[in-house]
Amino acid sequence: MAVANRELIREINQFSILNTIRTSNAISRVEIARITGISRASVTGITARLISENLIFEKEIQDSSLRGRRRVMLALNPDAVYVVGVKISAFKVSFAVTNMEAGILSSLAIPIQTGKRPVEYIANLIEDGIRHCVEEAQLQLKQISGIGIGIPGFIDSRSGICHWTPLYQKGEIPLRDLIQERLKISTYIENDANTITLGEQWFGQGKGIDNFIVVTIEHGIGMGIVINSQMYRGVKSIGAECGHMVLIPEGTLCRCGKKGCLEAYVSDVSILELARQAHADQKWHADNIEQLTIEKVTALAQKGQPVLRSIFKKAGEILGIGLSNLIHIFNPERIIITGEGVRAGDMLFVPMREAVNRHSHHEMLSSAKILIQKWDDTDWARGAASLVLQELYKSPLNRIKPTI
């Protein structure tokens, strides 16, 4: 066998063993050999090397099936790798330093209006934030294996080029390269909904699920698709944009310029705008309309304000139609809904579920579980950190292109 092939096989076996340990929390060598089909001698050799490299460690547990005898198990060393996740949004930039299990060592949120600033300004801010956050975690930059940046817009994850984002002006050098040059750490950039999807796949409701979809509700509506355990990004590596599916022909004007998009009814920006519009039409009254925020609109609706409740009801119905379309196209095992917009709770999700049931065929719907994932502010950064972990632990098979 050629040397290159032998090395590749060893690399694939190592990936397979590491991945099996990662997904099972703690596992014996015998079990690894059984699951992966790799010989016990090879498992022993490869795991010895992984232990010497500090990537995994041995731990003894008492096994009740062996009359309480102790068994030696292998587990991932959570502190073998540290990464930084960064999320850029319209009003803040969030950072988190995490270990391999997405345990957060330190986090930071800088409130700032990011819109229309030069890309160099954003790069300065990110550099300072990362330095501060790494210091807070009592680490040094050289201990950081990678930086993942999540950002809304059309991002080519392969080239690192941001084709379009609402958050900053494009410059000569892509943001990814600016950060990489300044900090000398491998940097990855990705659409923010895709980073959340990776976070769900590594650590959340998508763990061990081969086919699932994530829909994020915040300023806009984002989406991530996992097919056969792989993120689907499309031919331009940009990803999916379900927010601009037109669901109501000639409906409400969307910020993209089209009418009747899903996003024009369901996103935070749109719900706030619809509430303002209803106020201008004198359908309801607020004392300080200029200070109205999505949080206030949500709280008032939850207290029973009928006009605002009807906006959320309509949003839920439209979202339900959109999800029904996704169920028919993808036949997913799960749809995970997350993002700051889940704060609306039942007044959005009860009409959504009713619409999904009404518009979906039973055969398709019966296998698709819809989960509402409670939102935590560090989820974006955790997702961006998963982007780095995915790159670090990419299967060697993914690097091989078919020759025909």
Q: Is 164 in the site for Zn ion (CB under 5 A)?
A: no
Applying CB under 5 A, the span of 232-240, 256-264, 285-293, 319-327 interacting with Zn ion comes to: 256-264
Q: Least separation, in Å, of the C-beta of 267 and Zn ion? A: 9
Cβ atoms within 10 Å, residue 37: 8
Q: Least separation, in Å, of the C-beta of 6 and Zn ion? A: 52
- Using CB under 5 A, which of 56, 84, 126, 261 touches Zn ion? 261
Three-point CA angle 77, 78, 80, nearest 5° = 65
351-384 as b/e, with b when 16 or more CB fall inside 10 Å? bbbebbeebbeeeebeebebebbebeebbbbbbb
Residues 230-249 that bind Zn ion (CB under 5 A): 244
Q: In what order do the strands lie in the sheet with 26-27?
A: 26-27, 70-76, 56-62
> Closer to Zn ion at the Cβ: 206 or 243?
243
Q: Least separation, in Å, of the C-beta of 322 and Zn ion? A: 12
CB 275 within 8 A of CB 308: yes
Applying CB under 5 A, the span of 168-176, 221-229, 257-265, 299-307 interacting with Zn ion comes to: 257-265
Cβ atoms within 10 Å, residue 341: 24
Applying CB under 5 A, the span of 260-268, 330-338, 379-387, 391-399 interacting with Zn ion comes to: 260-268
Q: Least separation, in Å, of the C-beta of 265 and Zn ion? A: 10
Q: Least separation, in Å, of the C-beta of 184 and Zn ion? A: 39
> Closer to Zn ion at the Cβ: 9 or 245?
245
- Using CB under 5 A, which of 48, 141, 256, 289 touches Zn ion? 256
Number of residues that bind Zn ion (CB under 5 A): 5
> Closer to Zn ion at the Cβ: 256 or 289?
256
> Closer to Zn ion at the Cβ: 258 or 283?
258
CB 388 within 8 A of CB 146: yes
Q: Least separation, in Å, of the C-beta of 310 and Zn ion? A: 22
Q: Least separation, in Å, of the C-beta of 25 and Zn ion? A: 42
Q: Least separation, in Å, of the C-beta of 244 and Zn ion? A: 4
Q: Least separation, in Å, of the C-beta of 256 and Zn ion? A: 3
> Closer to Zn ion at the Cβ: 95 or 265?
265
Give the Cα separation of 98 and 385 in Å (integer). 7
String of contacts with Zn ion for each residue 268-307, x by CB under 5 A = ----------------------------------------
String of contacts with Zn ion for each residue 190-229, x by CB under 5 A = ----------------------------------------
Task: State the residues that interact with Zn ion by CB under 5 A.
Answer: 244, 254, 256, 258, 261
